[in-house]
Amino acid sequence: MLALLAQASDVFTKPTVDYHALAPELILVGTIIVLALVDSWKLERARPVMSAIAGLGLLAALVPVITLAVDGTDRVLLDGGYVVDSMSLVLKALFIVSAYVVVLLSINYMAEGDYWESEYYTLLICSVLGMTVMASSRDLIGIFIALELLSIPAYMLAAWRKGDERSNEAGMKYYLMGVFATGILLYGMSLAYGLGGSTNLEAIGLQLADLGSDGVPVVALALLFTIIGFGFKVSAVPFHTWAPDTYEGAPTPVTAFLAVASKAAGFVALIQVTYFCFIVRSDVIEPIFFVLSISSMTVGNLIALRQSNVIRMLAYSGIAQAGFMLAPFAVASSDPALSLQAVVTYLVIYAAMNLGAFAVIIAIARRTRSAELEDLGGLFTYMPGLAVAFTLFLASLIGIPPLGGWWAKFGVFASLIEADSGLGWTLAIVMAVNTAIAAYYYLAVARAMWFDDVPEGTDTSPVRTPATLGFAVVITLIATLLFGILPQVVNDVTDFGLVALGG
């Protein structure tokens, strides 16, 4: 054994490490270490500074992302398995900024709720690290490691309110379903590896293209299982069952994190395997995505109609929104650059408006102590600012211009119609109908806040929203408005399609 290893070491060449390219991840790792050390040295006294360290670490990690973007050269590491290009940088920035907003949301929630704080922030950053790795991975192993790195901390975070049964249920359900999905994913990946003879996505893609009509069943199985594995992560119907319970039971900042960053990470994984590999077999994947997309948007919407809890409603509506985001995958081969841009644009805008919605819910729940629809009655009369902000986020989620959401939907519609195929047109029409259905339940929340009377026994004295929470609402609101009024801004950063796909 040792001899073999020694022999192998002769041919081993030390890989050149581009530290600049890895700087965001390295800074995150550094932050994790600092958090762990500070926690073990200072124990209880360190609690107030943990959130600050986490926040600063995230902002510091954003710096190299920006310098890399300014530098502009694509950096390829590990024989093409790890790529830092403009697309991955946009996604990394998305993850880091989303996580920063989640930290802002968590500060008061965690401090006032008497939860473990140090571990919370450490795990959160671990998960973000997994996401940033995901954004660059172009290799089955890299993708899998990234997926586990981002998922396992999230399982624990979901169960953070350990005194509450529902939170335990949330974490347990999420964990079991996640592990189950991982099994399916691994099976799919192993088949893909068997077919492609490599873990590198590009190499597998070439092999799959060569296969032609041979081995369609195996190819279909490999692709199907891989996509299903990620389908759990993005909570696509019929793999969505964990989402509502987990969202409702988990601490609300964690729910925001799961609904935005974790879901986005699932989509990034889908982007990697689809656009850099599976797209050569569009005959196989497009019908799969078509079914996932239509069922997600329709089922998610229909169930959302009946929810009386705002967070559960957002969970189901998130499933429907995932359906919208899956739609461009169903026409991926027609104009890959356009549909890829549609997905990423949607992810960015969705992150802004959904995080904003959760920020408002957390701020409101400080007074109402619940997210039940009936407890929001008359909110406009005693918290007008938050009510208006929430209304704007809801309107953006519906897709009403000039708020960001309309541009996200517009991009999806554009990619579907550009394809000019049966799948594209069907999806466009179904999506149009679903947009109208979604308006109903989003507006149900607005209706409660504006039209209903204040429920008896509600304390309507003015409340002070903590500065961090207010700051989170303001930055997400500005982003939501900016993306809607000047869509070119988000275009300019997501306009990497052709470059990323190699022309």
By the criterion CB under 8 A, which residues form the site for another protein? 380, 384, 391, 395, 398-402, 406, 410, 413-414, 417-418, 420, 428-429, 431-433, 435-437, 439-440, 443-444, 446-447, 450-451, 486-488, 491, 495
* Nearer CB in complex with another protein: 29/485: 485
Of 262 and 391, nearer to another protein (C-beta) is 391
Whether a cis peptide bond, with omega within 30° of 0, leads into 238 is: yes
Rg (the chain; Cα; Å) = 22
Q: Alpha carbon of 245 to those of 166, 169, 237, 241, 249: distances in Å?
A: 8, 8, 15, 8, 6
- Closer to another protein by CB, 129 or 412: give it: 412
Calpha distance 78→115 (Å, rounded): 40
CB neighbours of residue 495 within 10 Å: 17
Tell me whether residue 103 or residue 423 sits nearer to another protein (CB atom).
423
What residues form DSSP beta bridges with 75?
84
Q: Residue 252: CB partners within 8 Å, gap ≥ 6?
A: 105, 109, 311, 358, 361, 362, 365, 371
Q: Indicate the residue among 155 and 380 with the shorter CB distance to another protein.
A: 380
115 vs 382, beta carbon nearer another protein: 382
Measure CA 422 to chain center: 29
The distance of closest approach from Cβ of residue 91 to another protein in the complex, given in angstroms and rounded to an integer, is 19
Residue 335 Cβ vs another protein, minimum distance, rounded to whole Å: 10
Residue whose CB is less far from another protein, 244 or 378: 378
Q: How far is the CB of 274 from another protein (least distance, A)?
A: 22
What is the token pair recorded at 166?
A: 């529902």
Cβ atoms of 501 and 275 closer than 8 Å: yes
Q: How near is the Cβ of 285 to another protein at its closest, in Å?
A: 23
Nearer to another protein, 79 or 420 (CB): 420
Q: What whole-number distance in Å separates Cα of residue 274 and Cα of residue 420?
A: 20
Give the whole-angstrom CA distance, residue 445 versus residue 372: 10
CA-to-CA distance for 253 and 92, rounded, in angstroms? 20
CB of 266 to another protein, least distance (A): 26
Residue 127 and residue 154 in contact, taking contact as beta carbons nearer than 8 Å: yes
* Shorter beta-carbon distance to another protein: residue 368 or 435: 435
Which residue from 502, 322, 482 is spatially nearest to 412, judged by alpha carbons?
Answer: 322
Give CA–CA dist 39/51, Å, rounded: 12
CA 324 to the chain's CA centroid: 14
| Shortest distance, position 389 Cβ to another protein, whole Å | 12
Q: How far is the CB of 492 from another protein (least distance, A)?
A: 9
| Shortest Å, Cβ 333 to another protein | 16
Q: How far is the CB of 18 from another protein (least distance, A)?
A: 31
d(CA 27, CA 269): 22
Nearer to another protein, 451 or 467 (CB): 451
Q: How far is the CB of 215 from another protein (least distance, A)?
A: 35
Closest CB 432 distance from another protein, rounded Å: 4
Question: Alpha-carbon distance 139 to 211, whole Å?
Answer: 20
Which residues, including other chains, have CB under 8 Å from residue 364's CB and lie 6 or more apart?
371, 376, 379, 383, 386, 390
Residue nearer to another protein on the CB measure, 174 or 442: 442
